[in-house]
Structure formats: structure tokens, C-alpha cells
Chain A
Amino acid sequence: MAARAQKLTALVAVVLAFFLLDAPLAQSRDTGSAPRRIVSLVPAITEMLFAIGAGPQVVAVSSYDEFPPEVKALPKVGALLDPDTERILALRPDLIVVYGSQSELEKQLERAHLRTFSYRHGGITTTLDTIREVGLATGHRRESDDLVSSLKARLDAVRDRVKGRPRPRVLLVFERLAGTLREIYASGGVGFLHEMLEIAGGTNVFADVGRESVQPSVETLLARAPDVILEVRAAGLIEKSGSDERDAWAALSSIPAVKNRRVHLVRGDYLVVPGPRLAMATEAFAHALHPEAFK
């Protein structure tokens, strides 16, 4: 009798353990095996997948994916506003990476008994955590941990390089109507751009604004008077200006950044994707802000 009770308890314990361990495995209902057919609607996560070695498992990406070069050959299935559900289903995926706000799509996919991974947009910490979660969800845990460690190391290295140097007040602009001072979008005191800037040895001139993006008026720019203007542009937008883009700032000559010719333009889509290349982006910022530290 006791032996039978023991076996029953053991059986129950094993079954229970199965269900309990099942639950916290990153926002997904799983079968336990690594996905072999991944569809990613989020470029940041696509980059992560390829960086941790899960590239071969990816079968389709979003319309905005550009990096790494391998994605160019893959089918495109839409993005945030226009995901092509039919096409996604036709590819018979076993994991779909969606935006956190695409709740309708998620519900649809769940009804089709498909696993989803929901992307949360956030700062550097969130990005690194996401890399780990992606590693876990795709069976590349070790590679993802290694990647996170190496990124952290690179970020620390940047911190060390610029330590002790005077921190300029920086206006980080990521969008502007070409040739003019209209429709300027700058980084506020929240988000990965802001955090990269701070690591790179700059103080965000809008650090007090609790939002990711700020649309300052000309008056606000003059009042905040940044020491450095760092303009960041994704390489996808080709700007064919007749003159140097930075000349648009000349009208605001009382701004120290303009007066001292510290207006920098950095190009590349690695700058605006919170993914594995954020260390590269932070290094680029640091180069622009503290060139002497890299001689």
C-alpha cells in the first residue's frame, strides 16, 4: 500500500512539475522543442536571431528588414500596420515574432495554435533581456548569453574610455525636414537612444523629458543651447541635398554646438535599431562626442 501511494505521489509530482516548469517559458505556449520555421515581423529581433545563430531557422522577415544581408533573399510578410496573415500561415511557421501592440494578430495566431513571441520596446536593459529570451525560445541559450556578455563588455569599454572627460550637453536629433529646421524629432530622456548617449559620455539636453521623442520648437532649441548636436539618420533614407545638411543649423548661431562647429551627422540603420548592433552604435556616438579618447 505504501509503495503504491509513493509511486502515485511521484507520478503526480512529475506531472505537476511538468506543468509548473512549463509556465514561465517566455510569453509563449510551447511544445518544448526549438522552432525550425521562424517568421519575424520585428527587425530588431531578426538581427538578434541571426546574431545568435538562429538565422537558418528564419523563413520570413518583415518588409523593413535590411540586416543582415541574408534577409534580402527571404520572403517579406508585412510589418506593424500590415502583417500579411495569409502569407504568414502559408509558410507553416512554428514561431512568429510580433509587436506587443499587435494583439489582434496574436490572438489570430493563437487560435491557429501557433507559438508567438511578443516584442517589448524599451531601453538597453530590455534589449539585452530580449536577446536572452530569444535565445531561450529558439534553443540558442548559450549563444545568446555570450552575445549579451560581449555587448555588456563593449558598453563598459565605452564607459571607461570616456570616464572623467567633460560631458557635453547633447541634442540627439533623429529626424528633421531636410534643409530646414522644421519637424525636428529629438530623443527625450527615455529609451535606448538616450541610454546610448549617456554611456557614450554625453548628457541629453532633454533628459528631463519623460518621453522617447520630443518635437522641440526653434525657441526651445535656442533656450536649451546644446554643446553638441548629434544627428542620427538611418541609411535607408537617402538625402540628396545640394549643400551640407548641417548648414540648416546655421541660423541658430547662438547655440554653442553651432558656434563651435560641433554638429555631427552619423548615418546607418544600426543606429536606430535596438538590437545586437547597439554597442556599435554607442561606440559611434562616443567617437563623435569624444574623438580624442579614441586616438
Chain B
Amino acid sequence: MITADSAETDGTPLPRRTTSSSIRGRLAATILGFGTVALATCVLAPLVGTTPISLTRALDRSIPFDQNVDAQIFFVARLPRVLAGALVGSALASAGVVLQAMLRNPLATPFTLGVSAGASLGAMLVIVLGGALTLGPLSTVPMASLAGAAAATAVVYWLATRQGHAMSTSVLLLAGVTLNSFLSAIIMFVQYIADFAQVYRAARWIMGDLDIGGYDTLIASLPLVLAAYVLFAWLPASLNLLSVGKDAAAARGVDVPRAQRLAFFSASLATSAAVSLAGPIGFVGIVVPHLVRLLVGVDHRIVLPASALFGAAFLVACDLLARTILAPIEIPVGVVTAMIGGPFFLWLLVRKS
């Protein structure tokens, strides 16, 4: 009496990997595969650049460091840049995955909830108000950027939780979009009253810049990103359930308010750290999760670690293109990610219709 009913549906199954094979196996294979790609990219990228260098000479310890241009290019110019790219790419991609699941919207990005606008405003205020200060080894711009991001996060959280301690995702989304518009308006105003050189600097910051020229800011951002990752580790199973529905997740044992808070704060933390280090580099947080889902399916227990790894490789590769393709001119890395992201989405759209 219970009959199959494929006649009325699209008979051909979508091409996908067999989900019945052990998830443990798939998770291990994914981490191994993407991990290798990420590692290979990070190892090879510092070897490539506009100036040909010899690796043996760079690693030759007998030459004093201040006489070894190859070593300085490798260790001071390229390596921090590649590591920053890996950290930022990984953080943004992971934050993207988490927010897309929490907001139940595959088009959400790490910047949807206003965190990056807060970071941009913080940086801009410092640039414009002539806050060319240094506190210890760090410039005030990343710190102000972090403060701005934290403030934006707090505002959005407060708005979304006013109706009870469970977060309303629709209010969250609205709050984020509103904050984005509001902060953009303020940013425009700040740029308007700034002098011309500062406006250019501010505009340049928004395009993203991984050329950090040293390890200080990288080391400062590391604890934030690691903390975010520790929080991320608790999420993947809950993300699967949340993305089916809030009530459905609750009925299956997920502590929904807690999971939402965890998702929101961990994604905001990762995004804040990434943006204050390198500016708001767009498209990584949405292209990477989509690409990864095309490759490994939609189970977040696999998508999240895969995106963290692939995000690192992706941004390092984009930065490599940015600094070599039009040599000696360098394209801002945010432009490269946009030029890859745009056509990619067009293709996705065409493929779906």
C-alpha cells in the first residue's frame, strides 16, 4: 500500500558522493585531502613572486641575515604575507559556513551582520582623526578596527535578543543589514570630512591588504582566531540541525539559544580578527563554502573543517595572483577575490536555472 512515487519527481538522482559510506572515513579523507592542498599552497607560495629568489640561499644560515636579500624577501616579505593569507582565508571561510547555517541562508557572508562595517569604521576613524599612533609593537589601526567590530557585534546581539534569550534570526539579519547601512553612511561622512590623502588611504584599506611585513600583527591575531576555532569545534552537528529548522533542532536535543550564541560569537570573533588584520576581504566567506559544498556535500561536520582548510589555500592563491599577475603593479587582494567570486556566482546561477 505504501508505494514508491518516483514517477512524479525528477527521476535522476543528483550527482553526489554516497552518503551511506562512513562519515568517519569521509571526514578523515577530507581533512587529509584539503589539508594537503592547504599545506602545499602555503609551502609553495613563498617561493613564488615578482623577484626570483633562490631557496637554498634564503635558507643558508651562514650568510648574515642583513646581507641575505633572498632570505629577507622570503622571511620578511613573503612568509608573513602567506601566513596572514592562510589565517584570514581560513577564518573568513569558516565564519561564512557558520553564519550561513545559523541564518539558514546560503547567501549569508561574514559581513552580513555588520561586523566588518564596524571594523571599517574603527579603522577609518583612526586614519582620519590622524591617530597615527603606536602602542607597543602594534599600530592603532588594527586595534581600533577590532574595537569597532566588537561594538558592532554587541549592538547586533543586543537587538536580536531583546525578545527573550533565544536569538531571533530574522531580527539578527535585519539588525545586521541595518547596522551595515548605518555604518556605511557614517563611513561616507567621515571620508567626506577627511582630507584627500586620508580618503585615499581609507579607500585602499577597504580593498584588503595582506602585506603585513612582519609577524607582530599576525601573532596578535592568532589567539583570537584560535579561540574562535575552539568555539567552532562545538558547532558542526548543531549546525546541521539548525539549518533544518529551529524547532526541529530543539526537538532533536539541540540547546538552540546556546548554539545560536556560540555560532554568532565565534563567527564574529573570527571575522573581527581577520578584518582587523587585513581589512575586509570580500567573497572568501561565500565562495569557499559554496565550492566546498560542491565537492564534499552539505554535512557541516565535513564542510566546516574543509572550508577552514580550503579558505586558507584559496586566499593564499588569490594573493599570489594579486602580487604576480600584473607585475610590477600589485592588485589589491580584495579585487582578485571579487573578480573570481563574481563570475563564480554567475556560473552557479546559470547552472541552477
Whether A252 and B50, one on each chain, are in contact in the complex, defined by CB atoms closer than 8 angstroms, is: no
- Nearest B-chain residue to A213, judged by Cβ: B200
A179 within 8 Å of B (CB atoms): yes
B72 within 8 Å of A (CB atoms): yes
Distance A64 CA – B195 CA, assembled complex (angstroms): 8
B339 within 8 Å of A (CB atoms): no
Whether B201 and A175, one on each chain, are in contact in the complex, defined by CB atoms closer than 8 angstroms, is: yes
Distance A243 CA – B133 CA, assembled complex (angstroms): 10
Distance A175 CA – B73 CA, assembled complex (angstroms): 22
Whether A259 and B66, one on each chain, are in contact in the complex, defined by CB atoms closer than 8 angstroms, is: yes
Whether B134 and A254, one on each chain, are in contact in the complex, defined by CB atoms closer than 8 angstroms, is: no
B65's partner among A79, A181, A254 (CB-CB below 8 A) is A254
A91 within 8 Å of B (CB atoms): no
Interface flags, A174-213, vs B, CB<8A=1, else 0: 0101111111000000000000000000000000010000
A240 to chain B, nearest CB (A): 6
Distance A175 CA – B69 CA, assembled complex (angstroms): 24
B206 to chain A, nearest CB (A): 12
A243 to chain B, nearest CB (A): 7
Determine the chain B residues whose CB is within 8 A of the CB of A6 once the complex forms. Answer: none
Distance A7 CA – B67 CA, assembled complex (angstroms): 86
B330's partner among A217, A238, A253 (CB-CB below 8 A) is A217
B293 within 8 Å of A (CB atoms): no
Assess A182 versus B201: contact at CB under 8 Å? Given A217-B330, A241-B133.
Answer: no
Determine the chain A residues whose CB is within 8 A of the CB of B72 once the complex forms. Answer: 222, 252-254
A251 within 8 Å of B (CB atoms): yes
A210 to chain B, nearest CB (A): 11
A280 within 8 Å of B (CB atoms): no
Distance A79 CA – B201 CA, assembled complex (angstroms): 18
Q: A residues 157-181 with Cβ under 8 Å of B?
A: 175, 177-181
Assess A253 versus B66: contact at CB under 8 Å? Given A177-B132, A181-B213.
Answer: yes
B323 to chain A, nearest CB (A): 6
Determine the chain B residues whose CB is within 8 A of the CB of A16 once the complex forms. Answer: none
B211's partner among A79, A217, A254 (CB-CB below 8 A) is A217
What is the size category of the interface that chain B forms with chain A? 35 or more
- Nearest B-chain residue to A179, judged by Cβ: B134
Whether B211 and A178, one on each chain, are in contact in the complex, defined by CB atoms closer than 8 angstroms, is: no
B76's partner among A80, A180, A182, A218 (CB-CB below 8 A) is A218
- Nearest A-chain residue to B130, judged by Cβ: A237
- Nearest B-chain residue to A225, judged by Cβ: B69
A253 to chain B, nearest CB (A): 4
Determine the chain A residues whose CB is within 8 A of the CB of B68 once the complex forms. Answer: 254
Whether A239 and B73, one on each chain, are in contact in the complex, defined by CB atoms closer than 8 angstroms, is: no
A220's partner among B50, B134, B136, B204 (CB-CB below 8 A) is B50
Q: Of residues B139, B205, B209, which shows the largest number of chain A Cβ atoms within 10 Å of its Cβ?
A: B139
Assess A222 versus B77: contact at CB under 8 Å? Given A217-B211, A241-B133, A251-B214.
Answer: yes
Whether B66 and A237, one on each chain, are in contact in the complex, defined by CB atoms closer than 8 angstroms, is: no
B323's partner among A182, A209, A219 (CB-CB below 8 A) is A219
A215 within 8 Å of B (CB atoms): yes
Total inter-chain residue pairs, C-beta < 8 Å: 105
**Helix, strand, loop or mixed for chain A's interface?**
loop
Determine the chain A residues whose CB is within 8 A of the CB of B67 once the complex forms. Answer: 254
Q: A residues 218-264 with Cβ under 8 Å of B?
A: 218-223, 225, 237-243, 251-254, 258-259
- Number of A interface residues in the complex (CB < 8 A): 36
Determine the chain B residues whose CB is within 8 A of the CB of A220 once the complex forms. Answer: 50-51, 328, 330
Distance A265 CA – B130 CA, assembled complex (angstroms): 18
Assess A177 versus B328: contact at CB under 8 Å? Given A242-B134, A243-B134, A251-B214.
Answer: no
Whether B213 and A81, one on each chain, are in contact in the complex, defined by CB atoms closer than 8 angstroms, is: no
Assess A80 versus B196: contact at CB under 8 Å? Given A179-B139, A225-B69, A238-B130.
Answer: yes
Q: B residues 175-233 with Cβ under 8 Å of A?
A: 192, 195-197, 199, 201, 204-205, 209, 211-214, 217
B290 within 8 Å of A (CB atoms): no
Assess A239 versus B132: contact at CB under 8 Å? Given A179-B139, A219-B77, A219-B78.
Answer: yes
B80 to chain A, nearest CB (A): 8
Determine the chain B residues whose CB is within 8 A of the CB of A225 once the complex forms. Answer: 69
A104 within 8 Å of B (CB atoms): no
B49 within 8 Å of A (CB atoms): yes
B127 to chain A, nearest CB (A): 8
Whether A241 and B134, one on each chain, are in contact in the complex, defined by CB atoms closer than 8 angstroms, is: yes
Whether B323 and A217, one on each chain, are in contact in the complex, defined by CB atoms closer than 8 angstroms, is: yes
- Nearest B-chain residue to A237, judged by Cβ: B130
A82 within 8 Å of B (CB atoms): yes
B99 within 8 Å of A (CB atoms): no
B95 within 8 Å of A (CB atoms): no
Whether A218 and B50, one on each chain, are in contact in the complex, defined by CB atoms closer than 8 angstroms, is: no
Q: Which 10 A-B pairs have the closest CB atoms?
A: A179-B134, A181-B213, A253-B66, A178-B132, A219-B77, A218-B77, A223-B51, A218-B213, A254-B72, A254-B69
Please name 18 further chain A to chain B contacts, defined as beta carbons within 8 Å, in addition to the given A219-B49, A222-B73, sorted by A numbering: A80-B196, A81-B196, A180-B212, A180-B214, A183-B205, A218-B81, A220-B50, A220-B328, A222-B69, A222-B76, A223-B73, A239-B133, A241-B132, A251-B76, A253-B65, A254-B66, A254-B67, A258-B66
What would 21 A/B residue contacts be, using CB atoms closer than 8 Å? A81-B192, A81-B199, A179-B132, A179-B133, A179-B137, A179-B139, A180-B217, A182-B212, A182-B213, A183-B209, A209-B328, A217-B323, A218-B211, A220-B50, A223-B51, A237-B130, A237-B132, A239-B133, A240-B133, A251-B213, A252-B72
